[in-house]
Chains A and B, each alone.
Chain A
Amino acid sequence: MKKFLSLVKLLFVQQYRTKPTEGKKRRGGTIATYIILAVCFTPMLISIAIAMYGVGKISQGLEGGGTNICAMLIFISQGAVLLFGIPTLISNVFTVKDADKLLFLPIRSSTIFAAKLTVAYLNEVITTAVMLVFMLLPFGIGYSAPVGFYFLLLLALVLIPMLPMLLGSIIAVPMSALITKIGKNGVVKTILQVLMFAIIMGAYMFAMYEFGFIGGSEEGDPTDMAQMLLDKLQGMGAMMKYVHSDYTLAAAMLGSTFSVVIVNLLISVAENALLVALVIAMSLPFYHRMLTTSVEGVGGRSRRKAAKVTLEVKNKGVVKELIFTDLKRVMRESQMGFQCIMSLIMLPLMVVVFYFCFNISGEGDQSIVEMFKGQALYQGIAPIIFLSYMSLLGMSSNVLGIYPISRENKAIYLVKSLPVSFNKYLLAKVILATAVMVISDFVMCVLIVALFGVKWYFGLAMWFAMAALGFGGMCITTLIDLKSPKLGWTNFNQSLKNAKNSWMALLVAFVVSLVLGTISGVCLLGWYLTNTSWYMLLIMWVLIIGASVGFAAVSYKIMTKNAQRHFDNIEP
């Protein structure tokens, strides 16, 4: 038991510990980040709490409905616990990376497994606590729940993560098996991750649509909103008898007599114990298999593969080779690849989300988009707004451009020892980052033309301007990263903690958007005053594209002028 507890403490503390060398400055940055996150998320959590209070209030009037709805809320909490807990479950229990550090110790492998499972469970308890505070507690207050409800919240904290643990294991076991099967193929792993994200995102959008948060024509009155939510919950709540452990827990929490509370509580505890037994029965053999694989390897696979492949050697030219080598490395490193693909698809996805949001029917059955399209100034203003949006988000979210040097990590010595002009090396970095953006921008422009009815030639002009702005922005962000690269990380997320780069990139993008806004503002005023003469729009786009190309040229010049000095100062 002592060994088990020591191991749990070690594994649990390790995942939250920062490097001692990072010092006060870094800690200050981390605290600032948490404050910003708290400022962003607190209003959302408070809104949920208010809505849950409203749900509780309305549930009072329902005959027997309170238990169903409470069970439903427990189930929703478990959904969040599952969503946030599954990465920890996979990385803690089903990905065996530390076998060589633990197996030589006099501890049984089943004890190691139990410790890892406990750490995953403790992480889920943390998410559960948040959900209880902002969902179940306000519901109970609104419902005027008996005193027992509040005591049993503590037991709920312990029991609620059990079902997500089981569901997580059901998802994680085949996923981990698949990832092990894929082996070292980072590209497939990355695609798999992106697909998983797309499925989760799709499910989320579907849920939002189902609840009427996007689309539809409902007004945003808080009382109606709570009633609507209640109707949805009640409808789904009827299904809750099938999730019996949640139903009995809810019945115990809201039970009015001692016998009802005790009977339901015992049933719920027994059912949750069964869930734990199922988790262990399913996970332990798989963990042992993964342990064997990690120690002994997958066996003979690489040798078979080697026999089939012929060695292909070709000199492609320095810049081309730098670009393609960098691309391969990015795509095969799962965290970097994921970030890269996400930055590629996220912005076009946002355009689609905007379309759905603005496609809500207003009065007279005309959507907001349709109403805008009918305005005389639409073709002048809409492309400029989209261009500003693209430049602002595109430049600040492209990890290839924000962390071009940091991603070299400890292998930076190799770059420094090669007989290659550093300017060529930088050019390759900027071209790769810009190429990713150009593809993303093209898709966005097509979507904007197709969904928002912007004329195709404005779409084309936006794309040209965006390509130049992207190149210029990448030059500046590359220089910023070069000045203080975050080298020596063991996983890419550590490098991403260097938040300064993102903020600086955002600042650059903001300044660029401001300049664009000023140019277009003056021209649009002229356009308006000249009774929407087409030549004013022509002048505006010529100026915008000219300014963008100028920005790209100046940025490239600044980068190449200062880069060598900063590069020489890097001491690997």
Chain B
Amino acid sequence: MIRLTNVSKTYAKSTVKAVEDLTLEIKDGEIFGFLGPNGAGKSTTIKMITGILSPDSGVIEVDGINIAENPIAAKSLIGFVPDNHETYETLKGIEYLNFIGTMYNIPSELLKQRVSEYAEMFGLTDALPNMISSYSHGMKQKLMVIAALIHEPKVWILDEPLTGLDPQSAFQLKQLMRKHAEQGNTVFFSSHVIDVVEKVCDRIGIINHGKLVTVDTLDNIRQDENVSLESLFLTITADGTDSVK
């Protein structure tokens, strides 16, 4: 479970609120899709949930743990795939996974087993002994996904996780997301690909100008069955924050 209560954030170098008074709860067993145009506040929200940024006000809880009060315990529960691929480029893939495994205190034997399992699943085994800097965009994305899942976190936070993945790997990941949610865990999923969000997510939240415009199940948001999520999204985000509630 992830709970955000009245969370606001303004960057030090800006006067505009990147996220304003955001209150949101993502329940266990749910895949939550987080949508919004560029600069709407999606990444800022994700960075605050993962502990990368501190909110100016409000409370963020991950599985009931306040991330500001107990960051280590809260972060241990999260598996995070960022939207960029900025990582330790001069490490080999296997060294990076070893590093992540150690940071999450995974015993050596278990780590070895999970590395083999996930690398096989995403077709990355042969590339792991190579330097990350030699990886293609898709290979880096696969590595980030494996690194996020390797400690079997309760909460998955995936920022554009399907970008660059080949169809097989994208399918695998979607299957994993569903399986993870069915086991009573939480998946927070951000994407620009509305079709995928429509197919995968149980509930959707749309953010614009730092404010949560709407949050509900897809059917409830749509009201009219003939309206696609895409046209709905364009209407909501074009008219400002108060046009649709």
Contacts and interface: CB of A to CB of B under 8 A. Distances in A.
State whether these chains interact: yes
Contact of A305 (B54, B91, B130): B130
A302 B101 contact: no
A435 B213 CA distance: 53
Given A313-B98, A317-B102, A571-B12, A306 B84 contact: no
B52 A411 contact: no
Interface string A308-321: 01011111111001
Given A311-B94, A321-B102, A417 B72 contact: no
Nearest to A413: B52
B80 interface: yes
A420 interface: yes
Contact of A184 (B74, B82, B84, B133): B133
Contacts of A316: 102
A186 B90 contact: yes
B76 interface: yes
B51 interface: yes
Interface stretch (A39-47, A324-332, A516-524): A324-332
Contacts of B51: 416-417
B134 interface: yes
B76 A321 contact: no
A29 interface: no
A315 B108 contact: yes
A376 interface: no
A306 B127 contact: yes
Contacts of A417: 50-52, 75, 78, 80
A418 interface: yes
Interface string A385-421: 0000000000000000000000001110110111111
Contacts of B105: 315, 318
Nearest to B78: A417
B80 A332 contact: no
B167 interface: no
A403 to B, nearest CB: 16
Interface in B181-229: none
Given A302-B134, A313-B101, A420-B103, A568 B94 contact: no
Interface string B107-138: 11001100110010000011111110110000
B47 interface: yes
Given A302-B134, A417-B80, A328 B104 contact: no
B98 A314 contact: yes
B11 interface: yes
B86 interface: yes
A474 B36 CA distance: 44
A411 B88 contact: yes
B111 A315 contact: yes
A316 B108 CA distance: 9
B5 interface: no
A184 B102 contact: no
Contacts of B108: 313-315
Q: DSSP majority for the A interface? A: helix
B231 interface: no
B101 A315 contact: yes
A285 interface: no
B149 to A, nearest CB: 14
A411 B106 CA distance: 22
A569 B9 CA distance: 12
A307 B126 CA distance: 7
B87 interface: yes
B94 A411 contact: no
Given A311-B128, A321-B99, A321-B103, A411 B86 contact: yes
B92 to A, nearest CB: 9
B10 to A, nearest CB: 10
Contacts of A87: none
Contact of A318 (B78, B103, B111): B103
Contacts of B88: 325, 329, 411, 414
A411 B147 CA distance: 14
Interface in A554-572: 568-569, 571-572
A410 B103 contact: no
B97 A313 contact: yes
B95 interface: yes
B53 interface: yes
B103 A419 contact: yes
Nearest to B86: A410
24 contacts: A184-B134, A306-B129, A311-B94, A312-B94, A313-B97, A313-B115, A315-B101, A315-B105, A318-B103, A321-B99, A325-B91, A329-B90, A332-B91, A332-B131, A410-B86, A411-B86, A411-B87, A414-B86, A414-B88, A416-B51, A418-B103, A419-B72, A420-B72, A572-B53
Given A184-B131, A312-B94, 6 more contacts: A311-B115, A313-B115, A417-B52, A417-B75, A418-B75, A419-B74
Interface of B: 11-13, 47, 50-54, 71-76, 78, 80, 82, 84, 86-88, 90-91, 94-95, 97-108, 111-112, 115-116, 119, 125-131, 133-134
Which 7 A/B pairs are nearest by Cβ-Cβ distance?
A419-B75, A332-B90, A309-B129, A410-B86, A321-B102, A419-B76, A313-B112
